[in-house]
Amino acid sequence: MALRCTQYFLATRERDDRKSIELAWIEWVVQAPQHRHLQEDGRWRLWAPVPEAEGRWLRVVLLGDGETVHNAFFDRSFRP
């Protein structure tokens, strides 16, 4: 899978708290989310736990096209 992403996503990947998030994990969440939510602005929030990251939940935000990654981070407040 070729990961499409926004410039915002590329910029935030440089942050220390985001550098440890592997692209393979993001791709996995996009392909097999355990939870999804359509935001009012048309963007999608997708979540899945990442076993390699101690089971923390990774949230991936996609643009309205459902393919382009806009954001990805470990969501400490998410409760399934």
Number of domains in the chain: 1
Cα 48 to Cα 68: distance, rounded to the nearest angstrom: 17
Cα 38 to Cα 45: distance, rounded to the nearest angstrom: 6
Residue 1 lies in a domain: no
pTM of the full structure: 0.94
Confidence class of residue 37 from pLDDT cuts 50, 70 and 90?
very high
Domain range for 43 is 7-74
Residue 19 lies in a domain: yes
Q: Is the pLDDT of residue 1 over 70?
A: no
Over residues 18-38, the mean pLDDT reads 96
Instruction: Tell me how many degrees the CA angle 15-55-25 measures, rounded to the nearest 5.
Output: 55
Q: What is the model's pLDDT at position 41?
A: 97
62: number of Cβ within 10 Å: 25
